[in-house]
A and B are shown apart, each in its own frame.
Chain A
């Protein structure tokens, strides 16, 4: 300690550090700074007693104030629901067909339905509701079971071809592989292609028309426009749920299709069912 040096100009003691001849002065800190440090330490101790802080073997100390993020979130959700209670009541009381005319309530229903959709429906129908092979696109104007608000709501509530809900929409296409001959299947596929395309073999399609009339028209209609009462797809439009190429169509005719959707009535609240129906109806295809 005998090598303490004083700076010639200022008379202040130096730390002994020197860079390029510039010496670091050992200027004392202000004392209030020290008090601030002590205050912060005391504050820190109080804080760790008041709030969850110290990690223990099974979880952290709880803190005497009983503060928890989980409780905060629950409280926020409750507060939010209380705020929306009026709108929810209105949504439950409204006639769904009249909903789009009520702009404020409709906006709420669509926003709420959007989050219900992303949480429950997007796994199959996609986050943008564009569907996938076997899972209908909800953005277009083609509906298997109907695109009116009431139709959509019924589908959401009861689902399609599931075993849980007795009121589920139901229909079953026979697997024609066991009913028709190979040639007949090829012919009817050609006829189906001819309904929406100009690229087909007219002779084979003509033969298929007879097969179609005998086996398919009961559900799909004589001209192949489908029947929403039975969920029979329109075969004459540009939209294919599984695919419109000959191979996929052959597969469909031979093995049939049996798309299932769960019933959401028991899983969602009544308000959520209504909201998600309003949301799907608002995506562009609603009738």
Chain B
């Protein structure tokens, strides 16, 4: 007990991260994606689509109250939810495909958390200045200057956050009407509550939690590790080329010592904040063919890659769960390599197997061989099959539909003349924009008669975009075979008398032997 050291705290405060501004290909690419994704998000609910007088004219609309989902010319009814399920499966498989081929591109470029955080950091830089200014402001006391900058920043964040939640609700009801109601304060409370919740989450997640969401809240980083392998293209550091690191030409004798020092510079003594994996230790070169152990590496330990990182990690520590592969460190490092006259690509998109090959002096695999692997081909195949299936289902479905549920309580009814009657609850769907007359009939190998409840003829008017429940009677006379046999197959048809389209469902007729 005399030896007891102070136990470390069980809880660690968040260490603030001040990503430095960076320019380069990937930064420009990310700006383009940010504009594209936010543009789609904000503009989509406002696109109009003419569907005729009795249907909404919003191109993309999730009409929860009427249980309809409109997407351009496609209208999904609740019983067709398999389309949505299919799309979700495709989205999942697509994510698997991209992750196994290109690593965490979803996280780095298109995840809303990344996009909005990027936007918030941009605002932060506009208001408070670049990394150094922000670090100074962070350390400064709460004076007038700091309050002014902070409040300005928070105000702009809040505007973005409100706009984020505000755009979301427009997907669920007619956008222009809702916009008017929102301003007049007459919209449904659900709209205001949704906006309030999304405003709060956007403001907190984009402004303050940022990388904490990715590291501690999101399950994806942990799942994605299982999708990646040594052939996956990802953001990596050419260890063999960079080590041993040194400032200018001063050579560090021991690579391990350099590493520890780098960690300390990043985080303070003895506290490696986000320790890397064992990769760099395990794959440490004994002697490299292209880079003799005697000379200093290309890495000048300028910390540019660490300073620009929105996750606050050091990519030189190897693959890490925290890395969202946003590739900003590539831009930062390429910039430095250009300045010191070394070739680009010390940090680069590459596969881990390339790193090993290059270290051994072998040529690395061409890009297509990394991407075309059994695993990615299989994902693509399954993804395409589901896609083709959905498109097929979309094109074969007709404007009219029926479902038949035979009433089996009782299994059949005996009429006074000894005839046997079966009852069917038939739901007739008219998915067109006009009221239609539907005519019902049946086909069967045996003699059966059809009748409808409440009408003498076999035609029913079904209003536009609705389902009508119709009680249908099928009767076999006492002398008919169907009356005495156990079951007789039959097919119920519905025909649109205007459009000449029809649909059918097979069902069974129960006789007395049943």
Contact = CB atoms under 8 A, between A and B. Distances in A.
Interface stretch (B35-43, B283-291, B410-418, B488-496): B410-418
B413 A1 contact: no
A126 B416 contact: no
Interface residues of A, number: 33
A189 B278 CA distance: 98
B12 interface: yes
3 tightest A-B CB contacts, nearest first: A128-B409, A10-B275, A237-B416
B149 to A, nearest CB: 23
A9 to B, nearest CB: 6
A31 B14 contact: yes
Nearest to B451: A284
A239 B414 contact: yes
A238 B453 contact: no
B416 A29 contact: no
A1 B410 contact: no
A137 B407 CA distance: 15
B416 A239 contact: yes
Contacts of A84: none
B272 A10 contact: yes
A71 interface: no
A11 B272 contact: yes
Contacts of A142: 415-416
Contacts of B270: 11
A255 interface: no
Nearest to B454: A100
B216 A30 contact: yes
Query: Is chain B's interface secondary structure helix, strand, loop, or mixed overall?
Result: loop
Contacts of B12: 28-31
A128 B407 contact: yes
B13 A282 contact: no
Given A9-B275, A127-B409, A28 B416 contact: no
Contacts of A130: 409-410, 413
B4 interface: yes
B118 to A, nearest CB: 21
A284 B422 CA distance: 10
Interface string B277-315: 010010000000000000000000000000000000000
B83 interface: no
B413 A140 contact: yes
Contacts of A128: 407, 409-410
Contacts of B216: 30, 33
Contacts of A19: none
A43 to B, nearest CB: 15
B415 A238 contact: yes
B473 interface: yes
A221 to B, nearest CB: 15
B186 interface: no
A98 interface: no
Interface in B1-18: 1, 3-5, 7-14
A29 B453 contact: no
B209 interface: yes
A137 B281 CA distance: 84
Contact of B415 (A12, A31, A140): A140
Contacts of B417: 237-238
A248 interface: no
Given A29-B12, A106-B454, A139-B413, 6 more contacts: A28-B9, A31-B14, A126-B409, A127-B409, A239-B414, A282-B453
